[in-house]
Structure 1
Amino acid sequence: MLGKEWSALLKLIQDVSAVFSIVINTFLIALILTKSPKHLGAYKWLMIYISVFEIFYSILDVFLVPQHYSHGPTFLVIVGLKDKLFGPPGLLILNSCYWGCFGASMAMFAVHFVYRWLVVTKHPLIETFYGWKICIWFSVPMWYGLTWICTGYILSAPNEHTSRFIKDNIKEIFELKIDAYVYLGPFLYERADNGTVNVHIVPFIGLAIISGTIISSVTIVLVFGILCYQKISCLVAITVGSGKLIKLQRQLFFALVIQTLVPFLLMHIPAAIMFAFVFLDIDLGVYSAVVSMTIAIYPAVDPIPTLVIVKNYRKAIISYLSLECVRKSPVPATIPKMNTGL
C-alpha cells in the first residue's frame, strides 16, 4: 500500500474515531454527573477530567491529521500544511501539544491508581483530593505533558540534518515536498561515507527524558495497582457490613485496570516497538502509520470499560435502551367489540 493510500485510510479512521470519542465521552460525563453512586466521592472528577482530556485529544488528532513515520534511525510525527488554518510555526506548536497529550495520558492513569489506593487504605492523604487541593493532582499530567511538549518542540525540532535525511524518502512515498509539511522527531545518528557513526546528542537527551517519564508512570501504575488489588482482596475477605462499598471499589478498580490497558495496547506498546526499530536502524516506512491509527482509536475505546463495568452506568444504559425499544415498538390496534345483541 502506497503512502497516499495509507494517509487516506488514516484520515478516515481519525474522523470516525473522533466523532465516536466525542459522543461516548460526552455521554459518560453525563452519566458520571447524574448516575454516579453516592460513595464515588472525588473519583467522579477524576473520571470527568480524563473524559474531557480524551475529547480534546480527539479534536487535536482530527485537526492535525498527524502521521507517524519511521525511516532508518529517525521517527517523525508529520503534519501536512494543506487545508490547515495555521501556518508552519503554529502547526509546529500544535504538533508539540500532540506530543504532550501522549505524555499526559500516562500520568493520568498513574494518578488514578494512587487515588484508588488512598481510598481503599483510608490514608490521610486522601484529603488532598478534596477542595482546591485536587488541582495539585490534576496538574501532574500537565507537567508530564509539558515535558513532552518541550522535548518535541526543542529537542526534536526540525533541523538541516534531519530534513536532508528524510526529504527524498518522504517525497517518494507520500509525494510531499519538504515545504508541504512540518515535522517533529529525533534523528539519533547518521553514518558517514567512511563508515563512521555520528551520534546526535540532543535527540538522545530528549529520548532519555521521554523514557524517564514512561518508566516512572509505568512503575507507579504497577506498584499502586498491586497494592490496591491486595488491599481490596483483604477487605473482601474480612468485611461483612459494608459489602456494597467494597463491591463498588472492586468495580472501579477493575474498570481502571482495563481502562489503563487500552492506552498501553493502543499507544505505548506500538510506540515502543517503533522506537526499538529506530534504534536497530530498521526502516518501517509507511507501516509506521499503524501507530497513528491506534492512537486515534484510543480516546474512542477508552471510556467503554467504565460504561460496562460500573453497575450504575450499565443499568442506566440498559434502562435507556429498553425505554427506546418500547417507544419504537408498534402499538397493537384495539379490536372493536362486536355487538351480539345479547
Structure 2
Amino acid sequence: MWIQDIAACVSLVINSFLIFMILTKSPPQLGAYKYLMIYISVFEMFCSILDLIMVPQHFSHGPTFLVIVETKDKLLSPTVLSILNALYWGCFGASMAVFAVHFVYRWLVVSENRLLQTFNGWKICLWFSIPVWYGVTWVCTGYILCGPNENTSRFIKDNIKEVLGLEFNEYTYLGPFLYDKDENGTDVVYVAPFIGLGIISGTICSSIVIVLTFGILCYIRIKNIVVTTVNSLKMRSLQRQLFFALVIQTLVPFLLMHIPVALMFAFVFLDIDLGVYSAIVSMTIAIYPAVDPIPTLVIVENYRKTIIYWICCCKKAAHVPGQTTIEPTRFTTLPPSGLELDLDN
C-alpha cells in the first residue's frame, strides 16, 4: 500500500533526524539516556525497512488472523519472506519491551537508584537484550506455533482470493487458526495457536504492568523533587520533559498498534469476519514509527529550540535575497554544542 511506503520513508527520515539531534543537541544531564533513545530510533527504522520490503497485509477471516506477504513480483523467495514476516512479528513484541525498559530507566534516574550504574559500560547491553528476547519469543511464536499449515491454508485460500485477488501460490502468511468444525459439525480446537496466543498475551501483560507500575512511581518521584539549587531546577525540568515525552511516546504504539491488534484478536475469538477492514491494522502499524519520534522532538526543550532556531534562520534567509549572513536572534547566544534549558518552564 502506498500509505505504508510513505510512512516507512517518513520514519527513516525523522528517526535519522532525531538521532542527529540526540548526538549533537542533547544536554549533558541526559547521560546514558541518549543511548536508549538512539536504540529506540534504530529499532523503529528497522521496523520501517521491514515494512518497505514486505508490505505486509493484515487479514481477518472467521477464527483466524493472518499477516500476509505477497510473493509475486518480489526479488526474495517465499521462504525468506516468511522469515522476514516472523521478524515483523518480533518487532511488534520487542516494541512493548522497549518502552518497559524505558520506564524502568526513567525511574532509576529520578530515584537515584544504584541500579542506574548498570546502564553504564557493557552492562547496558543486558538491558538492550530484553527487547531482543521479547522479539525472539514473538518470532518463534509466529513461525512455529502460527506458521502455515494444511488446515489454515484450506480455510483461508478461497476467501483471500475473493477479497484480495491473490492465488494460493502468490502469497505467504503467518497467523493463528484457532478452531474449526469437522465433517460432523463438531468444534475442533487447534492447540498450538492457542499456546501461541497465551505466550503473546503473557508478554503483553508483563509489559503493561511494568509500564504502569514504573510510570506511576516515576511521576510521583518527579512531582516530589525538592528544588534547592539552579542545577536541581534544571534537572527537574529536564526529567519532567523526558517523562511526558515518554508517556506520549508510549500512547502512540498503544493507540496505533496494541489496541487495533487486540481488537483483531477479539474478533477472531468471536468468529467475526472483518475481511478488507483488517487493512486498517496494516496502516496504523506502519504509521507508528513515523509518528513516535515527534513527541521527543517537540517536548524536549533543547531539540524544540534548535528546530525553531533553524526555522527562523530559514525564514530570514528567504526574506533577504542575496544576503549570506543571518541576523542574530535570541537563540544565537546559545552554545552550538547544546542549548540551555529554559528555567521558566
RMSD: 1.1
Residue ranges of structure 1 left out of the alignment (5+ in a row)? 1-10, 334-342
- Determine the structure 2 residue equivalent to 1:240: 228
1:272 aligns with 2:262: yes
Matched, 1:295 2:285: yes
Give the letter aligned to residue 154 of structure 1. Answer: I
Provide Cα deviations, 1:164-202, integer angstroms capped at 9, x if missing partner: 000000011111111100000010000234331100001
How many Å separate the matches in 2 of 1:257 and 1:40? 17
Deviation at 1:240, TM superposition (A): 2.7
Instruction: Return the letter of the residue paired with 1:150.
Output: C
Look up the match of 1:112: 102
Find the residue that maps to 1:86 and give its secondary structure: coil
TM, length-normalised to structure 2:
0.92
Q: Which residue of 1 aligns with 2:9?
A: 19
| Distance in 2 (alpha carbons) for counterparts of 1:281 and 1:332 | 67
**Paired residue for 2:21?**
31
| 2:326 equivalent in structure 1 | none
What does residue range 136-155 of structure 1 map to in structure 2 within 5 Å? 136-155=126-145
How does 1:84-99 map onto structure 2 within 5 Å?
A: 84-99=74-89
Q: Distance in 1 between matches of 2:322 and 2:110?
A: 53
Correspondence list, 1:279-318, <5 A = 279-318=269-308
Match of 1:169 in 2: 159
Rounded Cα–Cα distance in structure 1 between residues aligned with 2:65 and 2:250: 25
Q: 2:32 aligns with which of 39, 42, 48?
A: 42
**SS class of match (1:118):** helix
Shift of 1:86: 1.1
TM-score normalised to structure 1 length: 0.92
Task: Name the SS of the counterpart of 1:295 in structure 2.
Answer: helix
Query: Once the two structures are aligned, what percentage of the paired residues are identical?
Result: 69
Structure 2: distance between partners of 1:197 and 1:132: 53
Q: Write out aligned runs for 1:133-212 (5 A).
A: 133-212=123-202
Q: State the shift of 1:332 in Å.
A: 9.0
1:136-163 deviation line (CA, Å, top 9, x unaligned) = 0000000000000000000001000000
Secondary structure of 2:74 counterpart:
coil
Match of 1:337 in 2: none
Cα distance in 2 between the residues matched to 1:62 and 1:283: 27
User: Does the residue aligned with 2:224 lie in a helix, a strand or coil?
Assistant: helix
Which amino acid is 2:63 matched to? Answer: P
Task: Work out the CA distance in 1 between the residues paired with 2:240 and 2:91.
Answer: 29
- For 1:52 and 1:83, the matched residues in 2 are separated by 28
Runs of 4+ in 1 over 6 A off after TM superposition: none
What is the CA-CA distance between 1:331 and the residue it aligns to? 3.8
Matching residue of 1:52: 42
Q: Matches of 2:217 and 2:321 in 1, distance apart?
A: 55
Task: Quote the offset at 1:239 in angstroms.
Answer: 2.2
Of 46, 64, 76, which aligns to 1:74?
Answer: 64
Aligned AA for 1:240?
T
Mapped pair 1:100 → 2:95: no
From 204, 211, 223, give the equivalent of 1:221.
Answer: 211
Q: Which residue of 1 aligns with 2:319?
A: 329
Q: Distance in 2 between matches of 1:217 and 1:77?
A: 23
Q: Secondary structure at the match of 2:75?
A: coil
Structure 2 gaps, min length 5: 324-345
SS at match of 1:194: coil
CA distance in 1, matches of 2:123, 2:87: 26
What's 1:339 paired with? Answer: none
Alpha-carbon distance, 1:62 to partner? 1.3
| Deviation of 1:279 (Å) | 0.2
Question: For residues 218 and 46 of structure 1, what CA distance do their matches in structure 2 show?
Answer: 19
1:304 CA displacement: 0.3
Instruction: Determine which structure has more spread, i.e. the larger CA radius of gyration.
Output: 1
Distance 1:244 1:66 in 2: 45
Moved more, 76-85 or 259-268: 76-85
User: How many residues matched?
Assistant: 321
* Residue identity matched to 1:286: V
Tell me the distance in 2 between the aligned counterparts of 1:152 and 1:202: 11
Letter in 2 for 1:282: I
Cα displacement string for residues 63-114 of structure 1 (whole angstroms, at most 9, x for unaligned residues): 1000000000000000001221211111110000000000000000000000
AA in 2 matched with 1:271: V
In structure 1, how many angstroms separate the alpha carbons of the residues matched to 2:58 and 2:183? 28
